[in-house]
Amino acid sequence: MIFLISSIAIFLLSALLALLFQEEQTKKSAALGGVMMGSLIGLIPAVRVLGGSGTIEDAWEGTLPGLTLRIGLDGLSAFFLLPILGLSALVACYAWGYLKGQKQLHATLPWFPLLVASMMGVVIAQDGFLFLIVWELMSLASFFLVTAEHERREVRHAGWVYLAATHLATAFLLVFFLLCFQQAGSFAFDDFATVPAWPFTGLLFCCALIGFCTKAGAFPLHIWLPHAHPAAPSYISALMSGVMIKTGIYGLLRACTFFPSPPLWCGELLVGVGVASAVLGVLYALMQHDLKKLLAYHSVENIGIILIGIGLGLIGRSQQYPLVEILGFGGALFHVVNHAMFKGLLFLGAGNILHATHRRRLDQLGGLIRRMPITGVTFLVAAAAICGLPPFNGFISEWLIYIGLFEGAKAFAQAPFFFAVVAIVGIAFAGGLAVTCFTKVVGGVFLGSPRVAWEQPVHEGRWQQSLPMGVLAFCCLLLGIAPQLLSPWLMTALAGLGVGTPVGEMAAPLATLWQLSCAVAIPIGLLAIGLLVRYWFIMSKRTRIAPTWDCGFAQPTPRMQYTAASYAEPLGTFFRFLLKPTIHFQKPEGTFPARASFEDHVDDLAERTLFGPLTQRIVRVLTWIRRRQRNQVPNYLAYIFATLLLLLLWEVWIGI
């Protein structure tokens, strides 16, 4: 307990110090040093709890009557605390190098420790009241971090979209927790879990789903992600995409512990949402030209995969197939950790690229692997991991979910069978498109030669930036080759989720995984040895550097290279009915064409058909009301008075 409290105290203190100090260097040291120290201290109890030392709990009687604030750490909380604090420490280290010479970003530094503290608060809060408070704090802290470069118009727009989305989420969560409170008579999560029979489970589940999925970024509530991630500074994108959106997943899993036996349709709905997110997320990612926007859509895809896992677990629970339940939940939890690693790494890599070249558009980059080898290699590792390719960690978690789905398809009948098959097809489809998408990114950004001339020499980031990226890449590989390292912790987390008695059943799939990873790692290792031998062989010979055969092009220029957009174009054309791209195409004409251009642009389906028209209507109504407003202080007071009076009457004559 003492470690938890002191960790939070360090975060708050460092936020305060960073606010007070004006001098840049001290400000940075206070914020980033505080985050690193607090994270490392906070990791101690998380590892202990996951190691099986039992749960920690504490409660404070508040000053308000009938209110007790409870914090605690059980298996589930500790399992989420691990990536949150781990990635925060690494991101703080990265930011140390990244922030050098970026004056405008220093002003928002005090929010950084506050964001980490509130994320930690979300997972250790053990009652609904405290949970809502830290949840709101987390939203506000991340809002201020997203709008760090508020001079730019699109950043402000992104900030507002995010703020609206996050308030929508909180509104639904407020309803959810109040309804729970009404049934249980207290805000404590333990009391929620002991309610014998929940009335209107459907309403509660839908409130939780909308609230948590908005934060997590599941389709069609994901619209804030592709706005906020490109707008935020890269180290914040890494933190938000890597772990902050996972607090939505945590909330969903926590809500699952309140309802011991959810109806079947809950799981099916989650699988449906998951498949939609995974497939549409990756399709939209494929059509993006902006590196960070593309990565944001990949977050939508990965959240979809996690949701499929959770939905599968719930279906397994209601159909009473413990193996399917364990594989579903286990795969989802494993993917949470994995996604934190590789998505964090990808955004940090994108940060390095942006820092070095000041460009985010894929069609303006190229040939970076020679100039930024560390970024290039770690980005490649992360890309392979996010595509679910062995021997990296993404493969392991997706594989667990696959096995669960196949087990489910074998065991289930009727509707659950249908959903299992749809999910298998969906994940496979998303996986294939993800590989296409990342070949496009790596090919466009790192291979070939630069498509435009850089303003200044492009070079690798500082060691503070390279170190955390190396650590993350190593972790991706380590968990891919030895996933059983994580399995005891996974078991503790699953026990916290209310599953996991038959531990032996999980051990068998994990054991096969290890063999599978080795089977892939050995050929790759042999290939690497072969390359080394070849390198050594070549080194001993005399070499000459000369141009390759250029197919008769006398004067090739970098602009002749195949671009990322043209790589994705066939798929975009194929899915035209769904993506509805806007195309501006000027064909080359005549014998000696002077100019020709091609440009395409994809609008988000949810934004185009759902949220765009919806906000338009709302704005119209609100404008109408505002025109009729007399804007006098007494009028507003009268509104307040009338509301209070109504509430009083309600309380007196009807009761809450």
Partner 1 sequence: MEWLLIGALLMAFATLGSARLGSCIRAVALQGACLSLAPLCTVGALADPHRLFLATASFLIKTVAIPALLFKSLRQAKIQQAVAPTISLHLSLLGGGGLLVGAFLAAGNFSLPTDPYPPLIVPVALAIIAVGFFLLIARTKAITQVIGFLVLENGVFLFGITLLGEFPLTVELGVFLDLLVGVFVMGIMIHHINRTFDHVDTKALTALKDSE
Q: Give the nearer residue to partner 1 in terms of CB position, either 463 or 641.
A: 641
User: Applying CB under 8 A, does 631 fall inside the site for partner 1?
Assistant: yes
Enumerate residues 606-625 that contact partner 1 by CB under 8 A: 623
Placement of tokens 């639904």 in the chain: 172
User: Applying CB under 8 A, does 508 fall inside the site for partner 1?
Assistant: no
HEC letters along 164-219: HHHHHHHHHHHHHHHHHHHHHCCCEHHHHHCCCCCCCHHHHHHHHHHHHHHHHCCC
Q: Give the nearer residue to partner 1 in terms of CB position, either 542 or 620.
A: 620
Q: Assess contact for 72 and 55: CB atoms under 8 A.
A: yes
Q: Assess contact for 80 and 245: CB atoms under 8 A.
A: no
Q: Which of 107, 578, 646, 649 binds partner 1 (CB under 8 A)?
A: 649
Q: Which of 103, 459, 628, 630 binds partner 1 (CB under 8 A)?
A: 630
Q: Give the nearer residue to partner 1 in terms of CB position, either 543 or 631.
A: 631
Report the nearest approach of partner 1 to the CB of residue 656 (Å): 13
User: Applying CB under 8 A, does 627 fall inside the site for partner 1?
Assistant: yes
What is the C-alpha separation between 435 and 470, in angstroms, rounded? 22
Report the nearest approach of partner 1 to the CB of residue 190 (Å): 26
Enumerate residues 43-62 that contact partner 1 by CB under 8 A: none
Tell me, residue by residue from 59 to 88, as one string, x for binding to partner 1 by CB under 8 A and - for no binding: ----x-x-----------------------
Tell me the CB-side half-sphere exposure of residue 242, using CA atoms within 13 A: 31
Q: Closest by alpha carbon to 294, among 609, 602, 605?
A: 602
Q: Assess contact for 57 and 45: CB atoms under 8 A.
A: no
User: Applying CB under 8 A, does 504 fall inside the site for partner 1?
Assistant: no
Q: Closest by alpha carbon to 77, among 257, 210, 241?
A: 257
What is the C-alpha separation between 34 and 15, in angstroms, rounded? 8
User: Applying CB under 8 A, does 653 fall inside the site for partner 1?
Assistant: yes
Q: Give the nearer residue to partner 1 in terms of CB position, either 596 or 645.
A: 645
Q: Give the nearer residue to partner 1 in terms of CB position, either 66 or 504.
A: 66
User: Applying CB under 8 A, does 540 fall inside the site for partner 1?
Assistant: no
Report the nearest approach of partner 1 to the CB of residue 70 (Å): 20
What is the C-alpha separation between 392 and 583, in angstroms, rounded? 38
What is the C-alpha separation between 133 and 77, in angstroms, rounded? 17
Report the nearest approach of partner 1 to the CB of residue 63 (Å): 5
Q: Give the nearer residue to partner 1 in terms of CB position, either 63 or 515.
A: 63
Q: Give the nearer residue to partner 1 in terms of CB position, either 541 or 617.
A: 617
Q: Assess contact for 408 and 416: CB atoms under 8 A.
A: yes
Report the nearest approach of partner 1 to the CB of residue 60 (Å): 15
Report the nearest approach of partner 1 to the CB of residue 65 (Å): 8
Q: Give the nearer residue to partner 1 in terms of CB position, either 526 or 647.
A: 647
- Residues touching partner 1, count (CB under 8 A): 21
Report the nearest approach of partner 1 to the CB of residue 69 (Å): 16
Report the nearest approach of partner 1 to the CB of residue 650 (Å): 11
Tell me the H-state helices in 387-449: 393-411, 414-446
**Type of residue found at 381:** V
Q: Which of 515, 552, 634, 656 binds partner 1 (CB under 8 A)?
A: 634
- DSSP for residue 413: -
Tokens for 449?
Answer: 């030669």
User: Applying CB under 8 A, does 578 fall inside the site for partner 1?
Assistant: no
State the Cα angle at 228 between 223 and 229, rounded to 5°. 110
User: Applying CB under 8 A, does 628 fall inside the site for partner 1?
Assistant: no
User: Applying CB under 8 A, does 626 fall inside the site for partner 1?
Assistant: yes
Q: Closest by alpha carbon to 440, among 283, 548, 550, 275?
A: 283
**Type of residue found at 532:** L
- DSSP for residue 103: G
Residue 589 phi/psi, 5-degree rounding, is -125, 155
Report the nearest approach of partner 1 to the CB of residue 68 (Å): 15
Q: Residue 225: is it exposed, middle or buried by C-beta count within 10 angstroms (0-12/13-18/19+)?
A: buried
Report the nearest approach of partner 1 to the CB of residue 66 (Å): 12
Stretch that binds partner 1, among 324-332, 397-405, 426-434, 643-651 (CB under 8 A): 643-651
User: Applying CB under 8 A, does 656 fall inside the site for partner 1?
Assistant: no
Report the nearest approach of partner 1 to the CB of residue 619 (Å): 12
What is the C-alpha separation between 276 and 300, in angstroms, rounded? 10
Cα 451 to Cα 14, 169, 499, 563, 585, distances in angstroms: 43, 42, 53, 9, 21
Q: Which of 413, 551, 554, 652 binds partner 1 (CB under 8 A)?
A: 652
Q: Which of 557, 591, 616, 632 binds partner 1 (CB under 8 A)?
A: 632
Stretch that binds partner 1, among 150-158, 403-411, 597-605, 646-654 (CB under 8 A): 646-654
Tell me, residue by residue from 112 to 151, as one string, x for binding to partner 1 by CB under 8 A and - for no binding: ----------------------------------------
User: Applying CB under 8 A, does 638 fall inside the site for partner 1?
Assistant: yes
| Helix orientation angle between 246-258 and 153-184, rounded to the nearest 10 degrees | 10
Tokens for 209?
Answer: 């789903």
Residues engaged in binding partner 1 (CB under 8 A): 63, 65, 623, 626-627, 629-634, 637-638, 640-641, 644-645, 648-649, 652-653
